[in-house]
Amino acid sequence: MKRLFLILSASVAMAAFADAQENKGYLTGSLETNNHYYMDDNAVGTSVDGDRFASNDYLKLDYYNGNFSAGMQMEGYLPAIIGYNTEAYPSVLSGFDLSNFYASWKDDSFSVTAGTFYDQFGSGLLFRSWEDRALGINNAVLGARVTYTYKNILSLKALWGLPRFGMGLFTSSDREFANTATQIRGGDVSFSVSDLLGWNNLYLAIEGSALSRFEPIANEALKKEGAQESTLGWSARANLEYSGFFLKGEFVDAGWKYFGNPDYDWLDSNSNKYTGKKGNAALVDLGYNGRGLGVTLTARRLEYMSSHIFADPDNGDLRGLVGNTLNYIPALCTQYTYMLTNLHPYTAFSPSILSADNRTSGEMGFQFDAFYNFRRGTAIGGKRGMKIHANFSTYYGIAKEYTMKTGEMLFRDFSFDVERQWTKKFKMLLMYSYQKYGNVRLQNIFVADLLYKFTNKLSTRLELQYLSTKQDEKDWMAALVEVNFAPHWSVFASDMYNHGSSGTHYYNFGVSYSKSRTRVALGYGRYKDGYICSGGVCRRIPAYTGANLTVTTSF
């Protein structure tokens, strides 16, 4: 397989080169390198056992010539920075290799892609392949995809391939983690009723997808209890938009998923070791956008929806890896960006394993967001306008599987922020956030974010934050100062101080330089254990202290 793709790669490059002589195409690419240097820190008890130096590196190249394009990505984890691999699986991302590669041809109606590609059906609940470098997710599919579009009326898509796990299939033959077993086959159709009937004001589209997942099963007991090597899932969707009002609905039947049976009794020969569950989800988006107002209500119910590349029900460690995924089940609540608002992020509840203590099959809930712009020149907007935003979300566990019966409250938050440009030089944002995590934690967070421009080139930003809670580590305070020298330089220093309990300071300072498409950032700090979140999915990271150097460039 590897040889086949390398031969393909050489032929594609030659073809591209030959073509380029006739009609010069163009090459574009990007390079990213994230480097950490870890240090012992007695104050918080972190010591470095293994490598002090770690580096994640990505080189991506794409060549375009008319309808033709080809590209590749190389990745190096030398070794991977902290938190990318887990204790149980320390080398899923390791070494340096060619990880992604594709050649593609497309015109106004057709496209054909061979090699690795990213795609998703609907919201991604049934299937999503994507890259998120912050999380270490890259489940690009290695195979083939064909699409066909007829005007704006019909879009068809068919794909087949092996989802990437670890470094991908181009890895050295001695590497342990490359997916050569799990295959997916899928199709997606989107049909615009409004374009067919020539409606001008109303947009209505009906969509559907199917995904077949194949994974060989060696476990005889699992087979005997009904698990199939091929499972089929599907989704049906509708999108409606009229004069700024929108309604989107999606229903997903994700097919059978197998779990270790929490009631298994090994002394009883009639007891089943595994149990099959039907994955299913429903998602509704409803709202209005227009005249400076944006309102969105999103409701979602999901049950047994985790879909894995490797689904071994006996291996919770493997199932729990963030990169071992075939679909996208993000937390549907505000993704906060300030230090203390993001100290305890919520992640959507979808069980990877079932236990006698926790049989909750999934979660249900909703979020509501409203954004409004008070225009310039109005009584409230003043001379420069004012923006407000409010958010509310609440999620519950499902008390009884396949029902709408809500169980324990998992998460609830409310936030409100107001942003105002007081003068040409001074801008202010104030935010309040209430976050409740079941019965475990209740916290109130206050943030002030102040920006002052001294000149066109010199500006400073100050963040002041306070977190109040009676639980866990009690109260926190935090501050950040940033000084910007446009167009190239920016320096910052911040501190997160847990004055309520441990008295620990989590300081951080750094400098960055940007020019054109290149950015270099150097920082040093003490980082708390917790989660790095991106797109509503989180990766656990342990505490560390050290320096980091990031360079990103593209051309």
Contacting another protein within 436-465 (CB under 8 A): 451, 453, 455-459
Q: Closest approach of Cβ 10 to another protein, in Å?
A: 5
- Compare residues 234 and 259 and give the one whose CB is closer to another protein: 234
Among 518, 529, 540, 542, binds another protein (CB under 8 A): 518
Contacts with another protein in 11-40 (CB under 8 A)?
A: 13-14, 16-17, 20, 24-30, 32
Q: Closest approach of Cβ 275 to another protein, in Å?
A: 30
Give 218's DSSP letter.
Answer: -
Q: How many whole angstroms separate alpha carbon 443 and alpha carbon 473?
A: 11
Q: Closest approach of Cβ 123 to another protein, in Å?
A: 4
For 144-199, where are the alpha helices, taking DSSP H only? 193-197
Q: Closest approach of Cβ 380 to another protein, in Å?
A: 14
Diameter over CA atoms, the chain: 79
Q: Specify whether the CB–CB gap between 415 and 334 falls below 8 A.
A: yes
- Compare residues 214 and 288 and give the one whose CB is closer to another protein: 288
- With CA atoms as reference, report the closest residue to 482 among 520, 516, 523, 445: 523
Q: How many whole angstroms separate alpha carbon 542 and alpha carbon 529?
A: 4
Question: Scanning the structure block, which residue is given the tokens 């004069």?
Answer: 243
Q: Closest approach of Cβ 427 to another protein, in Å?
A: 9
Q: Closest approach of Cβ 443 to another protein, in Å?
A: 20
- Compare residues 219 and 550 and give the one whose CB is closer to another protein: 550
Q: Specify whether the CB–CB gap between 347 and 331 falls below 8 A.
A: yes
- Compare residues 208 and 535 and give the one whose CB is closer to another protein: 535
- Compare residues 275 and 512 and give the one whose CB is closer to another protein: 512
Give 457's DSSP letter.
Answer: S
Q: Is 485 in the site for another protein (CB under 8 A)?
A: yes
Query: What is the distance in angstroms between the CA of the first residue and the CA of the last residue of the chain?
Result: 31
Question: Scanning the structure block, which residue is given the tokens 């109040």?
Answer: 468
Show the site string, 274-303: x = touches another protein by CB under 8 A, - = not.
Answer: -----------x-x-xx-xxxxx-x-----
- Compare residues 131 and 363 and give the one whose CB is closer to another protein: 131
- Tokens in use for 91? 């080398």
Listing DSSP states for 298-342 in one string gives: EEEEEES----SS--TT-HHHHT-TTS-SS-----S----STTTT
- With CA atoms as reference, report the closest residue to 493 among 270, 371, 310, 339: 339
Q: In Å, what is the CA distance from 129 to each residue of 31, 62, 133?
A: 21, 19, 13
- Compare residues 217 and 390 and give the one whose CB is closer to another protein: 390
- Compare residues 4 and 267 and give the one whose CB is closer to another protein: 4
Among 273, 387, 436, 528, binds another protein (CB under 8 A): 387
Contacts with another protein in 398-417 (CB under 8 A)?
A: none
Contacts with another protein in 132-151 (CB under 8 A)?
A: 133, 149
Q: Considering CB under 8 A, how many residues would be counted as binding another protein?
A: 100
- Compare residues 41 and 285 and give the one whose CB is closer to another protein: 285
Q: Is 375 in the site for another protein (CB under 8 A)?
A: yes
Stretch that binds another protein, among 225-233, 254-262, 328-336, 408-416 (CB under 8 A): 328-336
Q: Closest approach of Cβ 278 to another protein, in Å?
A: 23
- Compare residues 331 and 467 and give the one whose CB is closer to another protein: 331
- Compare residues 439 and 516 and give the one whose CB is closer to another protein: 516
- Tokens in use for 381? 């907007």
H helix or E strand, kind and range, residue 105: strand 95-106
- With CA atoms as reference, report the closest residue to 150 among 192, 188, 112: 192
Q: Is 335 in the site for another protein (CB under 8 A)?
A: yes
Among 371, 434, 466, 509, binds another protein (CB under 8 A): 371
- With CA atoms as reference, report the closest residue to 121 among 228, 254, 215: 254
Radius of gyration of the chain (CA): 25
Q: Is 345 in the site for another protein (CB under 8 A)?
A: no
Among 261, 373, 444, 504, binds another protein (CB under 8 A): 373
The residues, any chain, with a CB within 8 Å of residue 274's CB and separated by 6 or more, are 221, 222, 225, 227, 258, 259, 260, 261, 313
Contacts with another protein in 50-69 (CB under 8 A)?
A: 58, 60-65, 69
Contacts with another protein in 90-129 (CB under 8 A)?
A: 98, 106, 118-120, 122-124, 128
Q: Closest approach of Cβ 387 to another protein, in Å?
A: 6
- Compare residues 106 and 441 and give the one whose CB is closer to another protein: 106
Burial class (CB in 10 A: 0-12, 13-18, 19+), 189: middle
Q: Is 192 in the site for another protein (CB under 8 A)?
A: yes
Q: How many whole angstroms separate alpha carbon 524 and alpha carbon 495?
A: 12
Cis-peptide, bond into residue 216, ω within 30° of zero: no
- Compare residues 487 and 503 and give the one whose CB is closer to another protein: 487
- Tokens in use for 397? 């566990």
Q: How many whole angstroms separate alpha carbon 165 and alpha carbon 168?
A: 6
Contacts with another protein in 225-284 (CB under 8 A)?
A: 239, 241, 246, 248
Among 191, 203, 416, 531, binds another protein (CB under 8 A): 203
Provide the 3-class DSSP secondary structure of residue 108: coil
Q: Specify whether the CB–CB gap between 350 and 283 falls below 8 A.
A: no
Q: Closest approach of Cβ 319 to another protein, in Å?
A: 21
Among 47, 152, 403, 501, binds another protein (CB under 8 A): 152
Q: How many whole angstroms separate alpha carbon 489 and alpha carbon 480?
A: 17
Q: Closest approach of Cβ 546 to another protein, in Å?
A: 21
Among 10, 43, 221, 380, binds another protein (CB under 8 A): 10
Burial class (CB in 10 A: 0-12, 13-18, 19+), 125: buried
Contacts with another protein in 486-505 (CB under 8 A)?
A: 486-487, 490
